[in-house]
Amino acid sequence: MTRNVVRKAAALLAAAVLIVLALPAAPAGAHGETAQESFLRMGTIAFWDVKYTESKVAQGQELTISGTAKILETWPDQLAEPKLGFIGVVAPGPVVVIKTRTINGQPAPAAIEVEKGGVYHFEMTLAGRRVGHWHVHPIFGIHGAGSLLGPGQYVDVSASPGGFANDITLVNGKTENLENLGIGNLTVWTIIWFAVGLVWLLYWIVPKPTVTRLPVTSQIPLNTDGGAYGLITKKDHRAMNIVMALTLFLVVGGMVYQANAYPVKMPQQVLRFAPEAAVMDATFVTMDPKDASYDVDSGTVHLTVAVTNTGSTPAAVEAFTTSTLTFDLAETAGPGTVQVSPSPVIAPGKTVTLVLSMTDPVWHKERLMPVGESRMQITGVVRTKDAAGHENFTTVQSFVKPSRIA
């Protein structure tokens, strides 16, 4: 009867999953960033000018992701102070490999020392590795706070004849494939040790019965080997001595082998440093955010900012960027755009109060307008450009008043 119940359960399980699989579903678009609180996403790191040189590569073919990330001055107080950071890539596993990375022009193999307000131009060269359709993001991790994702893009990796080979040249001049470097050494030693272990174990458990030893062992003291009763014999001792000697010989032999096969070695390197400060244009605008509101029904954010042009030429608002999103200046409202009223241009020496309006379903979809949450706030970077082509990136932050809570 149990068998029938169990069989029925197994059939049920298989049927249920098959039914589920038969129905198609829309593909995913984001990768976990929606789970981060909006104050965390917006108030920590801003990304701009993130560019991908290719969206379709073959295995082994390269593409470059470049952009700028800034650790905002509005870094939330409940997170640890930014001291150590890491710029990398998030993808569904090593579907791409990172070949090079520079931060503010310097090669950056490891984590970097960072600070609030720091601006980091990054450039990473990637190569396609696994065939597929992959969403890839730059990611900026801050020790103690977690990782913040930058704007992502799909990268298609197509098959190359011969598959993916990852050649690397050692300092000694040898070229190896990083995909299987050292596999011979690894395989041989793994097999050797399994064989040694099996010899040891099987010597005892194959010829000698096991459970029937208990009536005897339960009658002798713990620290005796029961040699007199045949539990462990002199032959057993001799055999185990041989296996032990062989083991020690292999250990010593192994060390001699590796010293000859790989004579030049060094420990893992931890090359962390504080990147040189990014070269930024001189400041020509200052901003004083006044307030912000969010119209729940139309999905529109209005941000009121008093902008002062301290430069000598007119300056214009170009874009607003926050988290993974960029809103570019446009005449008419639409997703991914920002409208500035009364005008995006600020005359030199003047202070004007501007309203930046952004209508986009993304505020609701990605939970970026935290209506009803414990911290209703918007943070982002306003990008302005003057007549000479200089750019300023100014952090603004304001509490948000929603049109309704429920």
Is 368 a binding residue for another protein by CB under 8 A? The answer is no
Q: How far is Cα 19 from Cα 11, in angstroms, rounded to an integer?
A: 12
Of the two residues 58 and 98, which places its CB atom closer to another protein in the complex? 98
The size of the chain, in residues, is: 406
Is 257 a binding residue for another protein by CB under 8 A? The answer is yes
Residue 227 Cβ vs another protein, minimum distance, rounded to whole Å: 10
Is 193 a binding residue for another protein by CB under 8 A? The answer is yes
Stretch that binds another protein, among 83-91, 328-336, 369-377, 378-386 (CB under 8 A): 83-91
Residue 122 Cβ vs another protein, minimum distance, rounded to whole Å: 14
Q: Which of 162, 266, 297, 389 binds another protein (CB under 8 A)?
A: 266
Closest CA to 378 of 355, 404, 354, 401: 401
Is 325 a binding residue for another protein by CB under 8 A? The answer is no
3-state secondary structure 191-212: HHHHHHHHHHHHHHHCCCCCHH
Residue 191 Cβ vs another protein, minimum distance, rounded to whole Å: 10
Considering only residues 128 through 187, tell me which ones interact with another protein, judged by CB under 8 A: 129-130, 132, 135, 139, 141, 143-147, 149, 166, 168-172, 178-183, 185-186
Q: 140 and 148 in contact (C-beta within 8 Å)?
A: yes
3-state secondary structure 86-130: EEEEECCCCCEEEEEEEECCEECCCCEECCCCCEEEEEEEEEECC
Considering only residues 89 through 118, tell me which ones interact with another protein, judged by CB under 8 A: 89-102, 107, 109-111
Is residue 404 helix, strand or coil? coil
Q: Which of 161, 234, 235, 269 binds another protein (CB under 8 A)?
A: 269
Residue 12 exposure: Cα atoms within 13 Å on the Cβ side: 6
Of the two residues 161 and 263, which places its CB atom closer to another protein in the complex? 263
Is 361 a binding residue for another protein by CB under 8 A? The answer is no
Residue 405 Cβ vs another protein, minimum distance, rounded to whole Å: 22
Is 201 a binding residue for another protein by CB under 8 A? The answer is yes
Residue 207 Cβ vs another protein, minimum distance, rounded to whole Å: 11
Stretch that binds another protein, among 49-57, 256-264, 337-345, 350-358 (CB under 8 A): 256-264
Q: How far is Cα 332 from Cα 119, in angstroms, rounded to an integer?
A: 32
| Spacing of C-alpha 14 from chain mean position | 35
Of the two residues 114 and 354, which places its CB atom closer to another protein in the complex? 114
Closest CA to 59 of 94, 96, 92, 88: 96
Other CB atoms within a 10 A radius of the CB of residue 26 amount to 5
Closest CA to 159 of 53, 54, 57: 57
Each residue 215-234 as x (binds another protein by CB under 8 A) or -, in order, gives: xxx-xx-xxxxx-xxxxx--
- Total residues contacting another protein by CB under 8 A comes to 131
Each residue 10-29 as x (binds another protein by CB under 8 A) or -, in order, gives: x-xxx-xx--xx-x-xxxxx
Question: Environment class of residue 230 by beta-carbon count within 10 Å: exposed (0-12), middle (13-18) or buried (19+)?
Answer: exposed
Q: Which of 250, 296, 352, 371 binds another protein (CB under 8 A)?
A: 250
Residue 374 Cβ vs another protein, minimum distance, rounded to whole Å: 14
Is 197 a binding residue for another protein by CB under 8 A? The answer is yes
Is residue 57 helix, strand or coil? strand
Q: DSSP letters of 299-363?
A: TEEEEEEEEEE-SSS-EEEEEEEETTEEEEE-SS--TTEEEEES-SEE-TT-EEEEEEEEE-THH
Spatial neighbors of 249 by CB under 8 A, at least 6 apart, are: none
Considering only residues 53 through 82, tell me which ones interact with another protein, judged by CB under 8 A: none
Of the two residues 112 and 356, which places its CB atom closer to another protein in the complex? 112
Stretch that binds another protein, among 30-38, 50-58, 275-283, 289-297 (CB under 8 A): 30-38
Of the two residues 109 and 335, which places its CB atom closer to another protein in the complex? 109
Going from the C-alpha of 221 to that of each of 61, 212, 218, 231, 237, the distances in angstroms are 69, 17, 8, 13, 19
Is 287 a binding residue for another protein by CB under 8 A? The answer is no
Is 213 a binding residue for another protein by CB under 8 A? The answer is yes
Of the two residues 205 and 406, which places its CB atom closer to another protein in the complex? 205
